[in-house]
Structures are given as C-alpha cells and as structure tokens.
Structure 1
Amino acid sequence: MIIMKQKSKFLKLVKNDSWLEPYNDAIQGRHDQVLWKLNQLTQDGKTSLSDFADGHLYFGLHRTDRNWVFREWAPNATRIFLIGDFNGWKESEAYELKPIGTSGNWEVSLPLSAMKHGDLYKMKVYWDGGSGERIPAWCQRVVQDDDTKIFSAQVWEPAEKYVFKKQNFRPKRNPLLIYECHIGMAQDAERVGTYNEFRENVLPRIIKDGYNCIQIMAIQEHPYYGSFGYHVSSFFAASSRFGTPEELKQLIDEAHKHGIAVIMDLVQSHAVKNEVEGLGNLCGDPHQFFYSGERREHPAWDSLCFDYGKNEVIHFLLSNCKYWLTEFNFDGFRFDGVTSMLYYSHGLGESFNGYGDYFNGHQDGNAITYLTLANLLIHEVKPSAFTIAEEVSGMPGLAAPFKDGGYGFDYRMAMNIPDFWIKLIKEFRDEDWKPSSIFWELTNRRAEEHNISYCESHDQALVGDKTIIFRLIDSDMYWHFRIGDETIGVDRGIALHKIIRLLTASTINGGYLNFMGNEFGHPEWIDFPREGNGWSYKYARRQWNLVDNKELCYQYLGEFDRLMLELLKSERNFQKLPVVEVWHNDEDKVLAYSRGDLLFVYNLNPQRSFTDYGFQVPEGTYYIALNTDSYSFGGRGIIGDCKSVLTDPDPLLKKYGKGWLRLYIPARSGIVLRKVAKGKR
C-alpha cells in the first residue's frame, strides 16, 4: 500500500504553535521527505520498515543446520578471505568469499566443521592499490587479547542460547525514573566491572531506590575504554570487556522480572576512526559508510560522520536498532549526539536564538529523515519501546509524533536544566537565588513534547567538571562528612543537594534521570584510565561503601532520594498533572506550587525562617509527606514528620473553595504536603 502525503494546510505541530506558521512549508517538506524515503525502502508499502531492517539476519556470520554462512557489504573490495584460528590465520581458497552479482555483497558458505564456537577471526580484504585485515562490520562478538591488546571477531554460537524468562514486558512510565549507569565503573574495586556483578550487586540497589528504568552506557563495542563508549567500532557487538552476550541478556531479564525497563545509550551520530577495528576504511573506500570531503570527520570529536543519505547506511543503522530490541530485549534507546546529526555545523558555534535558526537551510535533511525513520521502526518493532533524544538546540518537533509533523522521539533531554543549576551555583550567591527564575527554567518547555529532567548526568561528573555535591561542599567532603562532624558548608551542601533534586524531579513533564551514585552525593569526578593518570581506575568506579557506612552523611542523601521517588510514584501519572504555581516571592525566596493533591513549598533563604507564612490553597487538611529538613535526611528536624495542618477559613476565599494554609518554613528547606481527601486521614 502506498503511503499518501498529508494534504492538510498545517500539520498539528504548527497548529499547536503559531510561531511555526512561517516555517510550515519547511516542516511539511521534511515530513514529505520521510514519506518518500519510507515508500522507497518498503517498495511503496509492499513490505514493512521492519522487514527492511533485517540486515543483521543476513550479513555477518550465521550458523544454520547445515553450514556456516558469512556475508559482508564491501563494494570496493576485489577479494576477501576469512582468516582465523580455524585456518592458522592463512588465506585459503576454501575460506574465500565470492561476490553476489553486482550488489557489492560478498558471501562464503562453509561446512559446520570449518569453525567452532570461540574461534577468533577477521577478514583479509583486498582492493585496488591495497589490502588489510578487518573486523567485519556486522559481527556480533568482538574480543580483545589481554596481552597484545589486539581486537578480533569471535565465533559465538554457545551450545545453549539464553532464553528470556520474562516475556511481554511492558515498561512503567508514570513517571519514567531513569538510573543512568556504566557497567564497567559500577563497582568499588579499581578495575572493570562485569554484567554479572552489576546484576548481583547494583541492580538490587536500583530496585530498592525505586527507579523503574536503567539506561546503560557503553554497550556497543569500543576500542578505547576511556571514550565512555562513544567511539564505537562494532555496532552490533555488546562490549566483551564486561562479559558475554548471555550475561547481558540475563541482566536485562532480571531487571524486567523486577519491573525495571532497560534502555541503552545508542551511538549512531558518529563512529571511531579506527580502520582495523572499525568502519573507517573497510574495503579501501573511506566513504563507504561516511560523508566525503570536509563532512567526513567530526571537527570536535575526532570521529567519522555517517552518510545518512545512502540507503545502505540507513539499512545498517536501522538494522542496528532492530537488533538490540529483538536480540537483547532492550526497551528503547537514548540517542546520543542528536544535535550533531541535525546540523551541518554539528551545532558547534550556534546560538539558536530564534525559530529561524531551525529552518535556515543549515540542517542535514538526510539525518532528519533517518532519525524519523528510526523512531518509526522502533515503535513498529516494539510498540512498548521508547526513545529519548540527547539534543541541546531545542529543535521544534523533535519529541512530537511523526503524524503531527514531528520526528517521533518519545522524550527529549532537558539539557538546559543541569546547565542552569551549574550556572546558579557557580555565579550567584545563595542570597541572590530567585525562586521565580528557578520555577521558569524548570517548567519552560514545549507543551506537546515530553522531557527527561535531570540535575546532573554523567557529563557533569567528568574530569574538567564537577558534580553538584562537589560544587557545593568541595574538599570538606573528605574531612567533614562524618555524622556529628559536619561544618556549616557541609550542612549547606546537603540541604541544597536535596532541594535541587526535589525541585527538578517534582516539575517533570515526562521523566527524571540520575547518574549512578549521584543520588547519594558520590564524591569526586569520573576519570577513566589513560596515559595522563597512569592508567589508574581510582576514579572510574563507584564507592558504594560510602552510602553503606552508617557513620557518614551519604546515607542521608540516598534515603532522601528513595523517599522522594516513592512520593512521586504515589500520585498516579504524576508527570501528567499540571504544575500550578501557588506563590513566589523573590525577596523572601519562597516558592510554592501544586501537582494534584501535593503542595510543594520551598524556602531558599539561607538565613531566615518564616512563621505562619500563608498560602491560598483549596480548603482542607494537609499533612507533611516529605521534608528535606528532617533528621532522617541530615536536616535540623525543626518540623515534626507527618505533622497535619488545617487551612484557616477566609470569607473572601470561601466562594473559591480556598483557605489560608499557614506554615512554619525553615530556612533552606523544601516541604511537600498532601491534601487529605474528605473522610480520610
């Protein structure tokens, strides 16, 4: 069936935002470009996009009941051999691939005795004027030799394949609470952690803390550990430095068993330059997968940029999306580097001050088409899956449905929020914080697009930056974080760390994200082993012993984070409830807003507490559901937990069903009150 173009005057995206009307033709043009490409890839609807994205089932090495079959797309090659443990790493006629017509594809069929599970191998590729050993583009297992550090593909056909026990898992997204993590650095020891260690030691913590989604970084194989997984070499291979594919599947299955979704940080915005391990020069054509000329290399990332205009590249990347969903049962993706994909400039040096900056012809239409197709595919293959765009420019429609004129992401990262908190902490005295500005920054977003809000992710923890807790407390964390030995600076840091998190998490319109360890104020930065630090793992780990030590203050922050998430989940579809401002006073530094039956009240004043501070709210009884100043969270405990407060009547407010709620609000605190339904406590 041919997919027809939409003929309405304005797409819904434009109808919802009149400021987009001058750019309706550009938005419609992008929409039509996707429809045209979709028709082309699906033969005018005769097949599905999912059928098109089955490249991983055809290319690479596959074992059938009768033989081994290996295929590769190498249009510039003149000869290709498989070399490996099975033939002494020597070229032989039996292991030579043959071209399949003029398609650029190559193939070899081998008897089952020709290789076995665990054998290492590579391709030896010849082209006019050169040759080289290469790891196949579509291989699903790559390992590194401990001594030589050389990477090789590996035959991976275990006798027993992992069978998922939890079938038909559906993620909970009301709200989506994401725990961003890295398998390798998720342990106390100064070494690389494993999938099994994460499943056994870290997953139980995440379950207890109340997060309902894990976002795993650095899954796709990457030669340099210190790249944080962003310089990918083998896009279909789960990183072997953390364990086997079966162990990753078991981790995902165990998470699903406990109701936790698992998404991966998907890198398709660029690729590592490496030629032997990666795609940089697979068969003598450096532009096989990548743009030519100046567009081939990313000017800031020392990497290569995919040519999203080639159907073969689209096939490779879409198949990559489907592979991770179907083979490993991932529940979706956080797409890395979307800004870099959208613009010819990669967003570098751009200010994005107005709508015209999104429709000035400097956008990569090929990449926009690909990203939209990827979202269509992902939701076709797995309707319960969801996608998140890491995008800083604010491109309108990124997280709007395709049918409305958008790109189809379910969420976009609210990257303005961590930048705002860092700027506020760095450049302004506590006395100069303005509640009105904070509230505006946390709630300023496109109404039709859902966001993932966060105070800090892994980015804010890297060397060269500082986590929020480190900015607030600095070196006192080393010497005065023992309970009973806190300094004024430590007390301030603990108080603001909780308030910043409560403000951010309670104003979401989609989801909330935290990087592992930051929930309890993990000290120091992240620094992977490299030449500059003597290849040390000291800062590439998480010191869980700190939060487990009941003599230290870390437990306060961890416990607050757990109860904060519990509170948010107690209100059904919390993320959909309107955020209604009740009051702000920048001079007093007081802010209040409501969501459903919850009332959030903050006093950001560093010195002054307020007695009988009044708010006009719906009449009734309110009780304190969460208090950042509680003893349990390292506060002063001035207000008793679970204290009830009754509104005072006012004849002028009676007709509106409102009264005065008068509260004692300690300095530098946040209080959440729940309105009690009639007839209940």
Structure 2
Amino acid sequence: MEVLAHSLFSDFDISLFISGKHFRLYEKFGAHLIKLNGADGTYFAVWAPNAQTVSVIGDFNHWDKEAHSLNRRLDSSGIWEGFIPNVQKGAVYKYAITGFDGSAIEKGDPYATRWEHPPKTASVVWDMDYTWKDKAWLKKRPKVNALNAPMSVYELHLGSWQRDPSNPKRVLTYKEIAASLVPYILDMGFTHVELMPIMEYPYYPSWGYQITGYFAASSRHGTPQELMFLIEELHKNNIAVILDWVPSHFPGDAHGLYNFDGTHLYEHADMRKGFHPDWKSYIFNYDRNEVRSFLISNALYWLDKFHADGLRVDAVASMLYFDFSRKAEEAATNEFGGSENLGAVLFLKDLNEAVYGNYEGVQTIAEESSTYPGVTRPVYAGGLGFGMKWMMGWMNDTLKYFKNDPINRKYHHHQLTFSITYAFSENFMLPFSHDEVVHGKSSMIYKMPGDEWQKFANLRVLYAYMFTQPGTKLLFMGNEFAQTHEWDFKNSLDWHLLQHPPHLGMQKTVRAINKLYTSEPALYEHSFSHEGFEWITADDADNSIFIYIRKGKKAKDTLIVILNLTPVYRQNYLVGLPFKAKWKEIFNTDATEFFGSGKLNENVLLPQQVSCHGREYSIEINVPPLAAIVLKQGK
C-alpha cells in the first residue's frame, strides 16, 4: 500500500488555522474514512511543523515506520497528510515521528475520535455516523437552558455512579448507564447532568482531568456512538447535558501531546508558563494561534458531534494567572510585567464568542476561583464571555459556617450573609462538587456537627438554603442521599444506604427541593439580579435565624424563606412581611417524611398590623429546629 497525495485543506483552511481562527479542525485533521479514485481508505493529517519525517504505523502495516510516510505540505502550515488505501474502520494506528532533534517518537493522533482501551495507547480509525433523534429537544433548548430558567445540575463520574452489581470491578457502558441514569434523574427532578471528563485519558485516578484524547469519548464505557445514545436519551427526557472540559493542562504521557514533534508544540516552551507544579502536567501555549484553533475546535466538536448543551471549563484561574500556585519569584510575567496570561485571556474570549456564536441555547460555565473581573460579562463589554461562574467563595463560607457547632454559630453569622454583597457581580452557580468530598475533606454529612439526627437536619437545611439563594445549583452524586464515605472513584456509590430512614429521608428532601425550585418562578427568574432577593432580617445572630424574600416577575410568586440554624424550636416567632397577605407553608425540611421532627405550620398564617423587621405587617410562626421553611401567599 502506498500513501497517495491528497488534502482536505483549502488555502482558506490553512489561513484560518495559522491565524488561530479555524474552529472546525476536526473536519480536517485526524483520520477520515473516504473514497479516493474509487478506492476506500483513510486520509490522515497531523500538525508536526518541527518534525523531520512523519509516517503512519498500525496493525495494517505491521507497525512498519517505512511503509507509509506522510507528505509534508509545501506551505508553512507544518501539516503532514496523505491517503492510505484499504485502511478501514477499526484500524489501530499511531504516528511515527522523527523529531526536530532526530529522536524517534510514537504518538497517538491528537484528533483521533476513538482510542484503544487503556492501558493501550494507540488511536483507532472510526467514524462519527449517528442518526440523531433529539430535534425536539434542540428546538426548545434555548428556552430550557436560558439564564432565567431553573438549572439544577447533578454532577457525576460515569465510572463510579453505579457499577455492575455482579462484578463491582466492571464499569458500566454508556448504554447501561442510560438505562438507570435517565429514570433516576427524572425521578429526582434535576434539570441537568454534568459528566466529569469523558474524553479519553490514560490514568484512571486522574478522574479524567489528565486527557490525551481530546476528541475521543473514553473507550472505558464504549464507542462514541454509545455516548451519543446516552446523551440522546437524556435529551428525549428534557434533561440537558454539560460536559466537563479541560483546556488548562495535559499530562506528559509519551503517546500524548507533550513534546509532540520533538519540541514544545502544544505546551509553552518556558516551563514557568508551560508546567503546572501542582498537577505535574503541562500548560497549553495559548499564545500559539494553532493551539487556540485546536482547543476551540475541540469545544465546538463536543457541541456539534455529541449535542452537548454546555461546557464546564475546568481550572480557569490556573489559565488566567502565571503565578497561580507559584511563588511570585518563580512566576513568569506578561509583556507588561503583569501576572495575567494574556494569551489565555484571548483564548477564553475567542472560545466563548465561538461557542455562543455557533450554537443556540448552550452555556459555558467557568470553574474559576479568583477575583478576575467580568468572567461572565460579554466579550463585547470587556468580559471573558462565560454564561456562568462557580461561586467558590459562597461554597467555602457556607461550609465553614455549617461545620460550627450551632451554639457557636451566632459568632459566625456574617459567613452566611456576606455572599449576598457580591452575589450579583457575576452570574453565579452554587456548587457542592466532587472536590468537596475527597482528599480527607469528608463527605457532606460528616461535615455537619451534632448527633445523627442533627447531622441530617443540618444537611437538609443546608440544601434548602442553597436552592433558595440566588444563582443556579450543582450537587455531586451521592450528596443527595448523604453518602457517608468520601467519594471513591474505584467503587460504586453506597446505594444500600437508602435502606436506612435518614438517608432515604435526605433523598426525599432533595427530590422535594428540586420540585420546589423548578416549580416556583421566584427561585429562578431573577437568579442573577438584585431584584430577585431581599433580606427581611440578616441580623438575628443570637437566634441564628435568617429570613429573606425571593421574588419572581409577578408579586403572587413571592416567597419568604426562614432558616433556623440552631436545634432550638422557636415558637410564635414574629416575621415582618413584604406586603399584607395570607401566607401558607409550602415546604418544610422538618417534615417526618424527610426524617424530621414533624413540626409544621399547617394552618394559613394571617397578617397582623404589628410592626416587625421594619415592616408594617407581620405573622407569627413556629420555626422548627435546624430547619428551613418556605412560605407563599395562601388562601
């Protein structure tokens, strides 16, 4: 078999690529099954500008480096390409590269759409053919996925959400996961699922955050088409899918992107900019136009070929700052002497403009822990252009507060009120993610103080607080039924805990909270603006009681939320009203079905002209211990 001269690249493609503006590179690079001169085969294209030679080796040529040498384009693009007849779908291959320094290198294909099952490291020739049946979902997605719609995200790791009960070491396939995940999400009332990285990665304990195959669905769970099936089944049931995406760093595995053509091609050559000391991984060179094209093409690929509804972009702060996790004297600076990575800033702006400009009804979400301004401001207004940003400050302050023994909470009252002072500076998502239940941080239930009943009561009121605050929501798998162990990626969640009333009660609580959140416009119509929130009292530190109003577009949708964060039952507590009306309790975390003590307010609460909290009218209410109650106008 010979390599025939052929190209999928036009001069315009090359111009876009080298200027950092080609965002569909997956249609050109990689392995493509085509017919040429009447012969079936595969066209290969790879970027290796500093290589001396590039050949394709695989099971079809006995891994012979001399058999199929690719042709280098005569322009300055650095692309090697060619057509090999009779190479069929399922063929296993790598690129054999003679590096800039004469070194012999074997690399997987950066644009491969399938890889061998780890620990094998070769790429696989594959197609992306699939007949999608989610047109109805895509039509309504812009409304369902809008910023004024409810967003309750269930974050999960496919390898450990559930495993094969008959063989706990075996991870489930995408199709097996679909059979149990879709009905579970429907039953629990989450609106979105977020899949921790499902791009191919070699080291299982990295959870998917050390990617080698950016364009390939992990073969641990099946084929690309089987992942498409999982996403389609979720869409058919009106469940949106967010994918974790990692453009911040990649591992140094020999078959991956690192040192690709014998030079620092994808990573920055200056290791102050190109190496991440915490993760022992390599940082993309965002100053390089071709690297930005690669990454943005990858983002659009998952939206295009897999119909993803959003991307949660990992570790944005590590991209934005050269001194992230480095001592100042060990950090690089930009051309103006500052710590901002200007190439990364440009990349993120281009990314968000490309995503929102090409796909209707999608969202990008930044996992960003710094105070960088304007993360969710539009690019045209000087921002980075994300749809949402994780509210890490809220998460840290909230968990610090709840870890306190209730007797001491009055001394930390401000930890729950402070976040509102900046809650509307960005479009925030409130997260309790996988990061909070690993590495000795303990499970959510064991962060809570007190005896068993108090731990569960604390966690119920914590979730109610989370879902009645401004912002969208994210909860990691297992948190919804109070998983007792820290998350273990090697094993299934402890589903057997649902045999026990406290855990079953917690699951019922989260189900009810999701129903409340998605059915009450006041909790989502103004998620990101001041007009949706108002304190009734933020000052009752002695009783550790917080009372606030959530407002929708219509006055009749107004809710009053009351939190009691001590185990003391407060009877006949006076609450100032936003306006004169009858009020009815519509939700109470102390209900017996939730494993609470059952101290409910079952009667309609009548307004009285007694001044309280600076308001003319008030009601008397019984506030259960360690509980949240929600009131709405009633008859």
Report the equivalent of 2:150: 175
Distance 1:457 1:345, change over 3 A: same
Distance 1:411 1:83, change over 3 A: same
Secondary structure, in 3 states, of the residue corresponding to 1:503?
helix
Report the equivalent of 1:525: 486
C-alpha deviation, 1:348, in angstroms: 4.7
Q: Deviations for 1:572-614, whole angstroms, at most 9, x for unmatched residues?
A: 2633052111124111222111112211012222235333434
Alignment of 1:181-192 (within 5 A): 181-189=156-164, 190-191=168-169, 192=171
Whether 1:494 aligns to 2:463 is: no
> Is the CA contact (8 Å cut-off) linking 1:273 and 1:304 kept in structure 2?
yes
> Is the CA contact (8 Å cut-off) linking 1:291 and 1:306 kept in structure 2?
no
Distance in structure 2 (CA, Å) of the matches to 1:369 and 1:323 = 20
Whether 1:71 aligns to 2:31 is: no
Secondary structure, in 3 states, of the residue corresponding to 1:320?
helix
Distance in structure 1 (CA, Å) of the matches to 2:453 and 2:467 = 22
> Is the CA contact (8 Å cut-off) linking 2:182 and 2:237 kept in structure 1?
no
Worse overlay, 295-304 or 83-92: 83-92
Alignment of 1:524-543 (within 5 A): 524-528=485-489, 537=490, 540-543=491-494
Q: Which runs of 5+ in 1 are unaligned?
A: 1-40, 351-358, 474-487, 529-536
Distance 1:51 1:383, change over 3 A: farther
Distance in structure 2 (CA, Å) of the matches to 1:43 and 1:437 = 56
Distance in structure 2 (CA, Å) of the matches to 1:43 and 1:152 = 27
Name the aligned partner's letter for residue 182 of structure 1. Answer: H
> In structure 2, which of residues 426, 445, 455 is the aligned counterpart of residue 449 of structure 1?
426
C-alpha deviation, 1:226, in angstroms: 0.5
Q: Deviations for 1:637-678, whole angstroms, at most 9, x for unmatched residues?
A: 1225x532111134x79xx995211101122221111113xx
Distance in structure 1 (CA, Å) of the matches to 2:567 and 2:501 = 24
Distance 1:663 1:462, change over 3 A: same
Name the aligned partner's letter for residue 601 of structure 1. Answer: I
Name the aligned partner's letter for residue 79 of structure 1. Answer: T
C-alpha deviation, 1:516, in angstroms: 1.0
Whether 1:661 aligns to 2:622 is: no
Q: Which runs of 5+ in 2 are unaligned?
A: 1-11, 329-335, 552-557
Secondary structure, in 3 states, of the residue corresponding to 1:492?
helix
Name the aligned partner's letter for residue 154 of structure 1. Answer: V
Alignment of 1:466-615 (within 5 A): 466-472=442-448, 489-509=451-471, 511-528=472-489, 537=490, 540-547=491-498, 549=499, 551-572=500-521, 574-575=523-524, 576=526, 578-584=532-538, 585-596=540-551, 597-615=558-576
Distance 1:62 1:336, change over 3 A: same
> Is the CA contact (8 Å cut-off) linking 1:220 and 1:235 kept in structure 2?
yes
Report the equivalent of 2:31: 61
> In structure 1, which of residues 186, 189, 194 is the aligned counterpart of residue 173 of structure 2?
194
Distance 1:223 1:140, change over 3 A: same
> Is the CA contact (8 Å cut-off) linking 2:267 and 2:282 kept in structure 1?
no
Secondary structure, in 3 states, of the residue corresponding to 1:86?
coil
TM-score under structure 1 length normalisation: 0.82
Report the equivalent of 2:591: 630
> Is the CA contact (8 Å cut-off) linking 1:82 and 1:121 kept in structure 2?
yes
Distance in structure 2 (CA, Å) of the matches to 1:581 and 1:657 = 12
Alignment of 1:362-441 (within 5 A): 362-426=339-403, 428-434=404-410, 436-441=413-418
Secondary structure, in 3 states, of the residue corresponding to 2:154?
strand
Secondary structure, in 3 states, of the residue corresponding to 2:116?
strand
Q: Deviations for 1:77-136, whole angstroms, at most 9, x for unmatched residues?
A: 11111111111222344x21010113210011122x2x2222211111112421122101
Report the equivalent of 1:338: 316
> In structure 2, which of residues 121, 124, 139 is the aligned counterpart of residue 154 of structure 1?
124
Distance in structure 2 (CA, Å) of the matches to 1:56 and 1:526 = 35
Report the equivalent of 1:27: none
C-alpha deviation, 1:42, in angstroms: 11
C-alpha deviation, 1:282, in angstroms: 1.6
TM-score under structure 2 length normalisation: 0.87
C-alpha deviation, 1:448, in angstroms: 4.6
Distance 1:391 1:59, change over 3 A: same
Alignment of 1:184-263 (within 5 A): 184-189=159-164, 190-191=168-169, 192-263=171-242
Distance in structure 1 (CA, Å) of the matches to 2:482 and 2:447 = 11
Whether 1:670 aligns to 2:628 is: yes
Distance in structure 2 (CA, Å) of the matches to 1:181 and 1:327 = 21
Q: Deviations for 1:162-186, whole angstroms, at most 9, x for unmatched residues?
A: 2110112414341211111111111
Secondary structure, in 3 states, of the residue corresponding to 2:451?
helix
> Is the CA contact (8 Å cut-off) linking 1:184 and 1:194 kept in structure 2?
no
Secondary structure, in 3 states, of the residue corresponding to 2:364?
strand
> Is the CA contact (8 Å cut-off) linking 1:645 and 1:661 kept in structure 2?
yes
Q: Deviations for 1:234-280, whole angstroms, at most 9, x for unmatched residues?
A: 1111111111111110111111111111111000000111122x111
